Structure 1
Amino acid sequence: MRLDWQWRPTLAVAGKEFRDRVRNRWVVAVAVVFAAFALLIAYFGGAQGGEVGFRGIAVTVASLTSLAIYLVPLIALLLGFDAIVGERERGTLDLMLSMPLTRAEILVGKYLGLAGALSLATLGGFGAALLPLLGRLDGAGVRMYLGFVGSTALLGLAFLSLAVLISTLARERARASGAAIATWFGFVLVFDLALLGVLVATAGRGASAWAPYVLLLNPADVFRVLNLYGNDALRGAFGLGTLLPQHWNDPILLCGAMLAWILAPLGLALWRFR
């Protein structure tokens, strides 16, 4: 096994992983699900209130953000939890390590292949849903929707990094799947409930000094702030205006936090796999 790093074998591993996902129609299935949910929410999101039809891009993005927080992390975790441990259980990992491939090339290649498939499904699905809405949107509306689609792709990549980290830590595929589900519950459900409990218990005293930094510990919350805090109406509706300082609507800061959530777990996974 070589000790140096080369991009050509890395891309070869990535290409195989990506082609496997496309060949089994995983990308198409997820893209269709995303597009269908986006269109249904855009046109029928207000049906429970007796309203049917497109109600505006801000309301649509808010509804899609709530949906994506639950759906995208789950899909990303299920996609990547067996990236390494699955190869180990099937006995193919030893075969790959016997080839002129370094451990870094294998792990990064598998991550890039899975990331390409997940990003294609996300961008293709939610992007396709934009086409029927174009006639109803102005330039600002299109930018808002594209910002949502791009941040959704970042959210998926962050949880895919966590899935690959789980896959390198787990010794069995069953344990990896359980850890992936526990990670989804922890970040998507338990984290916000715990934060809400602390805010209620302290009556929100001094929350603006520490709560914004606590939100950075959860990529799902970074995604939520990134999509909801930039709009005045949504900021007030979701109570973010009283919790977060004004400078927290900087997309560069929030995108940087999302990139950190992508790179940090992947770096830990690479260290563990080596």
Structure 2
Amino acid sequence: MLNPVALVAHKEFIDGFRHRWVVFASLSFALLSLAVAFLGSAVSGQLSTPQLAPTISALATLAALVIPLLAVLLGHDSFVGELEGGTLLLLLSYPISRWQLLLGKFLGQGAVLATTCLVGFGVTAVALGFVVGTDQLLELTAAFGLFIFSAALLACTFLLVSYLVSLAVSTKGRAMAICLLLWFVLVLLYDLVLLGLIVAEGSESWVRALMMANPVDLFRLANLVFVEHQSVTGVLSLVTSHNSNLWLMLLLMLAWSGAGLFAGWQIFKRKRV
């Protein structure tokens, strides 16, 4: 007999395929990443052979926008939607704890997002493997391996953020609105505010600390540092211009996921259904 966590995870993963999440998102990622890799040089007026560092930099910017949005769209109604439909109460009447239900949902939907990242960006990695030299294959594999792993971590972080919202509100509409607001703040507004503060205050050290606290910036920085891309502008240059620890960035991303899972459990076990 399967563990309750495995049963819930399997159901959520199958639902991801049934609702065409994996197919749609993977196809979108594949088409966008292929266009960025092979057609990105067209902005300079000519097409050229894709280079690894600029490609990873451009893909990191693209993924930082799209992946968090997909994650919150997938997870925003995971609890409040089932509460409104009456299925959450039914699930909790079975021999399954709230922690097992939360963990099972996270593992199943996290696997959906990880599969999406693997398939969507893996297609570009394979395509680039045919055009780069054999001496670059190892570097290409390592760079895309880190990119896909960190993209999955970013997706799981925002999935957990959407869980926190879904557990805290009473309607799906409110959950969607708050999740989109958080996406807008963390993905689009955050760096602009930090850049404005630098111009206004002139201090950089505490701004770098605030950047390291944002999972979106951690994702972009980790990939830029790994490929040693030099053409970084804006607020990200504050960190890439200093000696940056790649493993610390990945550890902080893992810490975000761990903190989100713990916070979700604390809210869920106190929630009245």
Whether the aligned pair in 1 keeps the contact of 2:54 and 2:229 (CA below 8 Å) is: no
Deviations 1:32-81 (A, max 9, x none): 11111111111111212212243301111111011011100000010001
1:133 shift after superposition: 1.0
Name the counterpart of 1:125: 120
Gaps of 5+ in 2: none
| Residue matched to 1:44 | 39
Deviations 1:82-113 (A, max 9, x none): 11001001111111111111111111111111
Equivalent position of 2:267 in the other structure: 272
Cα shift readout 1:223-262 (whole Å, capped 9, x = no counterpart) = 11111133444365567555457442x2211110000111
Structure 1 runs of 4+ with >3 Å offset: 230-233, 235-247
1:126-158 deviations in Å (ceiling 9; x for gaps):
112211111233122331122112111111111
Corresponding letter in the other structure for 1:148: F
CA spacing shift, 1:117–1:243, aligned 2, 3 Å: closer
Verify the 8 A CA contact 1:81 1:180 in the aligned structure 2: yes
Question: Following superposition of structure 1 onto structure 2, how do residues 30-41 of structure 1 map, counting pairs within 5 Å?
Answer: 30-41=25-36
Query: Do the aligned residues in 2 keep the contact of 1:228 with 1:235 (CA within 8 Å)?
Result: no
Contact 1:161 1:263 (C-alpha < 8 Å) held by counterparts: no
Show the 5 A alignment for 1:73-92.
Answer: 73-92=68-87
- Distance (whole Å) between structure 1 residues aligned to residue 120 and residue 236 of structure 2: 29
Contact between 1:42 and 1:53, CA under 8 Å: does it hold in 2?
A: no
What is aligned with 1:95? 90
Q: How many residues align?
A: 265
Which residue of structure 2 aligns with residue 259 of structure 1? 254
TM-score (ref. length: structure 1)? 0.91
Greater mean deviation of Cα atoms: 143-152 or 90-99:
143-152
Match of 2:102 among 96, 100, 107: 107
Pick closer, same or farther for the CA change 1:272–1:240 going to 2, 3 Å: closer
Taking only aligned residues, the RMSD between alpha carbons, in angstroms, comes to 1.9
Alignment of 1:135 with 2:130, yes or no, is yes
Output the CA distance in 2 between the equivalents of 1:89 and 1:155. 28
Q: Residue type matched to 2:145 in 1?
A: L
Alignment of 1:236-255 (within 5 A): 240=236, 242-243=238-239, 246-248=242-244, 250-255=245-250
SS class of match (1:149): helix
SS of residue paired to 1:229: helix
Aligned to 2:20: 25
Q: 1:171 to 1:240 in 2, by over 3 A?
A: closer
Please give the secondary structure, in 2, of the residue aligned with 1:95. Answer: helix
Q: Distance in 1 between matches of 2:229 and 2:79?
A: 44
> 1:156 and 2:151 equivalent?
no
- How far apart in 2 are the matches of 1:83 and 1:186? 22
Sequence identity, in percent? Answer: 35
1:220 partner letter: V
1:227 aligns with 2:223: yes
Residue matched to 1:218? 214
1:56 corresponds to which residue? Answer: 51
> 1:161 deviation in Å?
1.0
Instruction: Structure 1: give runs of 5+ residues left out of the alignment.
Output: 1-6
Q: Secondary structure at the match of 1:32?
A: helix
Q: TM-score, normalised by structure 2?
A: 0.91
